């Protein structure tokens, strides 16, 4: 059974992941803010689950070396084989030339 998270729960979870990642890299919030070229409050808000702009999130992820996380948000769209079959026009057979009636 899949449990759906609210937007606030997602923000909190993302903030926790960012905090853990920052601590594993042994940098403090101020250093991360400087490396990401964002205000210290941006880092605090992200880690606290209070959100920030998408641009700020991208900057912080880049500074943490996790820009690839963004690719998982919008995977490349491809057409499934079933959709291709449904979209493919049906082949139309050539009709035979009608023979002249025998008199």
Asked if 38 contacts 44 with a C-beta cutoff of 8 angstroms, the reply is no
pTM of the model: 0.67
pLDDT by residue (tens digit) across 28-57?
999 999 999 999 999 999 999 998 899 999
pLDDT tops 90 at residue 99: no
Domain boundaries, the chain: 7-71
Q: What is the DSSP letter of 26?
A: T
In angstroms, the Cα distances linking 16 to 7, 21, 78, 79 are 14, 9, 32, 35
Which option is the CATH number for 7-71: 1.20.1740.10, 2.102.10.10, 3.40.50.460, 1.10.260.40?
1.10.260.40
**What's the rounded Cα separation, in Å, for the pair 27 and 21?**
9
**What's the rounded Cα separation, in Å, for the pair 20 and 17?**
5
């Amino acid at each position: 059974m899949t449990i759906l998270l609210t937007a606030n729960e997602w923000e909190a979870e993302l903030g926790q992941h960012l905090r853990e990642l920052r601590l594993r890299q042994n940098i403090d919030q101020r250093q991360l803010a400087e490396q990401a070229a964002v205000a210290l409050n941006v880092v605090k808000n992200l880690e606290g689950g209070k959100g920030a702009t998408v641009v700020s999130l991208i900057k912080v992820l880049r500074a943490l070396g996790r820009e690839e996380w963004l690719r998982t948000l919008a995977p490349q769209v491809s057409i499934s084989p079933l959709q291709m079959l449904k979209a493919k026009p049906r082949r139309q057979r050539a009709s035979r030339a009608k023979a002249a009636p025998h008199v």
